[in-house]
Amino acid sequence: MKRIYKILISFIFILLLMAFNEQNKVQAKSYYIDDMNIQAIVLENGDLEIEQTLKYTFNGSYNGIYITIPTKYKNKEEKISKISDDIYNAQGIELQKVSQLKNGEIVEFQKVNNASNGQIRVYTEELKSDIYKLKVFCPTENGSKTFKLNYILKNICVSHNDIGELYYNFIGGEWECTIKNLKIDIYLPNNQTELKIWGHGPDNGISEIVDNTHVRLKVNNVPTGKYVAGRVVFDKSNIPNAQKVSNIDAYNLIYEDEQQISKINDKKRNYTKNIYLFALALIIYWVILLIIYEKDKKIELVQVNDEELFQKYNPMVAGCLQGSRDILARDIIAVILNLIENKHINLEIKKINSESYGYYLTKVPEKENMMDEIETIIYNWVFEGANVVELAKRLGEIPKDKLANEKFERLNNITQKTLNQKGANKRTVPVLLRVFNTFLFFITIYVVIKHIMYEGFEIYNETDILFTIIPILLYMLPITMILIYIPIMIIVNIRHQVTKLVHKVTGQKVVTTSITIISIFLVIILLTVLIANKANRYIVADEILLCISLIIMLTDNLMLKNSVKMIEDYSKINGLKQKIENYTMMEDRDIEQVTLWGKYLAYSVSFGIADKICKRIKGLYVDDDLLNIINDKKMLDYIFSNYSFFYYNTSLDRRFMRGYTKAIGTVVSSYGSNSSSGGSGGGFSGGGGFSRGRRLSEEAGGAF
């Protein structure tokens, strides 16, 4: 607790330091487009006149925006269309006006050859490698601004033998910010015949024909890296002066092209749907495996002879059989109590003061050869070469033994071997089926890889939340470590509580293994949903599939069954547990049978119901030593907590948490004594990769 207080005090100190030191403040800069409205008019010469209105929302300080408009097709991908891609290249950009809508008025920007950060109401143009780049200087801090661009895309429409065509990527795959609402209106002022339009991009997009002169594309929440393209087919008389002539009959080719694109998109959606169905089938398969290879035959509860069970099973073995589990730390205490009850260890209680007692254990050499292997190991572990030890002190020291994990592991192996020899926990899944399950796991990996390659994976760019958060988390490392500590502690404690509950109710290791795997994948899926581009959300299906196939592969060797005789013993031990827990069949016991209460206490500890037996014993006139033990707060803390002190000192996750806590203290101390401020620089940012799908001329935008 002292260490936690130090961490909290250091945490508060860091917050105060950052509050008074302006240079150490870190703001999460981000921006997005609330609305983008594009009005495009097809001109008679095949040009496209565009008025583009963009409403930005800025969180943080920015110098302005930039837009790049590549006009040449690039990024050669799988060929779908029978029409040459090059025919859709534009021949250039003619910028007409750059302006800002401010308080209902239009404020124009002036073109300059060069500009630097901080200048206002100016813009620069740059044409490099067929890419037109526009930078608009308009310093902004935490606010919204609306910009308007007017330009002509030269010679973009194509005159075929039978039809005219416009095919253009209005939103290219290099946009670095999300667009909440996108509307693209395309006009052919003199058209008299029917129009056709196809939209390419996000699945939630809508393409519609408003009238014979007007078509529209609408998309909500366009993620970064996603493109939105429009393809319009119309009467070629709308572009009588077009310079771009294909000399081909194009309508059927375009129609076949769009049908093929639609089929591919449907196939991709169906692929993802089939991944979910595959995962569901594996869940059903796993349940069938559990029913066939783990579910024991039920038998009616038979009458139990307590002494017979006490002779056949020590508390550790009985607890593992009853819970179908590995050994728990509480089993160590249960065996110690049983050794005391069997007089293999002498217990002497000495009063230390008015409120506490000392519980002194003494060896009984003449009975050492009467103990089984498990009892001998615990007996030697308790005494560690001494002849007399104090019980409470030894219970505190045992987990700190540097070989504690090895001894605990050895005890577990011997216990499981003992149970196996008696017919319990036999692995029943055939080797061939286990090989098949492993093969099935690799099949799922293949399916997932194929799915990702088929869908296409878009790498996160610099404006994604991941790249916004990580620098901040690294900068505020101490706070980050403390914040991470909290969910880790929650996960660790939940895992322990779930494990404890599962052991108490069913004890099945397969369940706890599954819970661990599912918990890990839930975190991965959550991160995917929060961080990944929406275009990559299909990966959730792959993660679910991998999760269930991994569970099948890792748990088929944990599917255990018991022999008929062992099931009978299991039934008897459960009967013993119920008898202790419910006090039935105990109310009328004779006084000479009271000596069994010490046995019941030992076994109830292993069964995890010590609180039940203690309540019962306190109301009886039994052995004074037994009453002293259950009346001693320190001893009851060990018993009722299931000896959690042992796990705190030995289990891997507990040792990790202690090491992590120590690391937090080190980092916090280092940060507090060596904190310093630093400078930062800025420049134009941009770039990124193309999104999947057919692409034509690309347009990208960002802020700087």
The pair phi, psi for residue 669, each rounded to 5°, is -65, -45
Contact between residue 661 and residue 648 where contact means Cβ atoms under 8 Å apart: no
* Residues 41 and 164 occupy one common structural domain: yes
For 457-467, the pLDDT digits (tens) are: 554 443 444 44
Of 145, 245, 112, 257, the C-alpha closest to 196 is 257
What pLDDT shows up at residue 627? Answer: 59
Domain limit, last residue, from 510, 530, 558: 558
Residue 659 within any structural domain of the chain: no
Query: Does residue 21 or residue 485 have the better pLDDT?
Result: 485
For 204-221, the pLDDT digits (tens) are: 788 899 999 999 999 988
| Nearby residues of 13 by Cβ (< 8 Å), 6 or more positions away | 672
* Residues 184 and 48 occupy one common structural domain: yes
Chain Cα centroid distance, residue 425: 33
Number of domains forming the structure of the chain: 3
DSSP conformational letter for 27: -
Residue 657 within any structural domain of the chain: no
Whole-prediction pTM: 0.51
* Residues 477 and 504 occupy one common structural domain: yes
* Residues 228 and 110 occupy one common structural domain: yes
Q: How far apart are the C-alpha atoms of 171 and 201, rounded to whole Å?
A: 9
Q: Is the pLDDT of residue 625 over 80?
A: no
* Residues 455 and 496 occupy one common structural domain: yes
Residue 668 within any structural domain of the chain: no
The percent of residues in the chain predicted with pLDDT above 70, rounded, is 70
Domain limit, last residue, from 558, 587, 622: 558
Residue 227 within any structural domain of the chain: yes
Residue with tokens 């610099």: 462
Residue with tokens 């800069």: 29
Contact between residue 470 and residue 230 where contact means Cβ atoms under 8 Å apart: no
Residue 674 within any structural domain of the chain: no
Q: Is the pLDDT of residue 591 over 50?
A: no
What is the residue-wise DSSP string for 494-556? HHHHHHHHHHHHT--HHHHHHHHHHHHHHHHHHHHHHHS-GGGTTHHHHHHHHHHHHHHHHHG
Q: Is the pLDDT of residue 226 over 80?
A: no
From the CB of residue 133, how many other CB atoms can be counted at a distance below 10 Å?
17
Average pLDDT over the chain, rounded to an integer: 76
Question: Using CA of residue 367, residue 370, residue 376, residue 379, what is the dihedral sign?
Answer: negative
Q: How far apart are the C-alpha atoms of 365 and 50, rounded to whole Å?
A: 99
For 646-671, the pLDDT digits (tens) are: 766 665 545 544 555 555 555 555 54
What pLDDT shows up at residue 450? Answer: 86
| Nearby residues of 197 by Cβ (< 8 Å), 6 or more positions away | 186, 207, 208, 209, 215, 217, 230, 231, 232, 233
Residue type, 428: T
* Residues 185 and 49 occupy one common structural domain: yes
Q: Which long-range contacts (CB under 8 A, 24 or more apart) does 376-382 make?
A: 377/407, 377/410, 377/411, 377/414, 378/332, 378/335, 378/336, 378/339, 378/411, 379/339, 379/344, 379/345, 381/332, 381/407, 382/336, 382/345
Q: Distances in Å between the alpha carbon of 384 and those of 79, 214, 328, 387, 413?
A: 77, 91, 21, 9, 21
* Residues 201 and 331 occupy one common structural domain: no
Domain limit, last residue, from 498, 525, 558: 558
CATH of the domain at 74: 2.60.40.1730
* Residues 540 and 594 occupy one common structural domain: no
Residue 299 within any structural domain of the chain: no
Residue 673 within any structural domain of the chain: no
Q: Which domain holds residue 465?
A: 271-293+429-558
Residue 11 within any structural domain of the chain: no
* Residues 424 and 495 occupy one common structural domain: no
What pLDDT shows up at residue 679? Answer: 32
Residue type, 167: Y
pLDDT confidence bin for 410, thresholds 50/70/90: very high
* Residues 415 and 485 occupy one common structural domain: no
* Residues 359 and 472 occupy one common structural domain: no
Contact between residue 551 and residue 514 where contact means Cβ atoms under 8 Å apart: yes
From the CB of residue 5, how many other CB atoms can be counted at a distance below 10 Å?
9
* Residues 326 and 407 occupy one common structural domain: yes
